[in-house]
Chains A and B, each alone.
Chain A
């Protein structure tokens, strides 16, 4: 399975460059080097640095996944959308002794 994936990557990039030349996006050597360095270091700082250098890079998803594995970012935190109009608290009058809120 791993062998197939590696060869698939090879042929995809090979054909892209052969047919499309530089018009087809492929990770630059500098980006691949940065990614390999981040993987080798396997630290949060390394992955953050890769993301800062290549925010739209080819390995962004892997870098974020690695940050999750290292505990830098956790599981999804749900944030409710902002309501269309502010709602008036109904029970605040009884709990706020100052009566201001």
Chain B
């Protein structure tokens, strides 16, 4: 019982401190209902055959949170054709192209990130999830001036991977 009280007091203190921090932000802000319409993106490279649970989960997440749903990929999945609740943006990815890009691989990577930056800025994306090893590999190549949603997605992926390793759970 004493332990539960201690945990409750600690949780209350955390909530109060967080409310204080949130108010510090809100003091300079627009009212909540005047917030911008923002999007959340899923970055994927390569094609997915058959059912696509990851994309379904992404759509459900965006719908639940009120985000515009974006898919950034080098190939348009069948689920996106005719779908009204998802925006597809093409990401040119050199390894999947039929011929090497003009200027070599690095030029192709630079172009991919410029294209990503434009798409993320236009749709006002505030978060980006990464689907698959190839997308994670692309994020590894992100230049320092890449869109901050991409930089933070990479940092978050590293953070989560480290947390998994420290917890001893298999990836």
Contact = CB atoms under 8 A, between A and B. Distances in A.
Interface string A4-34: 0111111111111110010000110100100
Contacts of B17: 32, 36
A48 B127 contact: yes
Interface string A57-69: 0111111111111
A19 B91 CA distance: 49
B12 interface: yes
A77 B17 CA distance: 34
Interface string B37-67: 1101000000000000000000001000100
A16 B126 contact: no
Nearest to B23: A2
> For chain A, what secondary structure do more than half of its interface residues adopt (helix, strand, loop), or is it mixed?
helix
Contacts of B35: 61, 64-65, 68
A43 B17 CA distance: 20
Contacts of B18: 9, 27, 32, 35-36, 58-59
A62 B4 contact: no
A74 B8 CA distance: 39
A44 B148 contact: yes
A10 B13 contact: yes
Interface string B1-32: 00011011101111111111111111011101
A56 B159 CA distance: 17
B152 A9 contact: no
B72 interface: no
Contacts of B5: 18
Nearest to B129: A55
Given A36-B21, A65-B26, A66-B25, A29 B14 contact: yes
A93 interface: no
17 contacts: A9-B19, A11-B12, A14-B11, A17-B11, A26-B14, A26-B15, A35-B22, A39-B21, A48-B126, A52-B128, A56-B61, A59-B22, A64-B35, A65-B30, A66-B25, A69-B25, A74-B124
Interface of A: 2, 5-18, 21, 26-27, 29, 32, 35-36, 39, 44-45, 48-49, 51-53, 55-56, 58-69, 72-77, 79, 81-82
Interface of B: 4-5, 7-9, 11-26, 28-30, 32, 35-38, 40, 61, 65, 68, 84, 124, 126-129, 148-149, 151-153, 155-156, 159-160
Q: Which 9 A-B pairs have CB atoms at the shortest separation, nearest pair first?
A: A13-B15, A52-B156, A14-B12, A9-B19, A10-B12, A48-B152, A17-B8, A52-B152, A10-B16
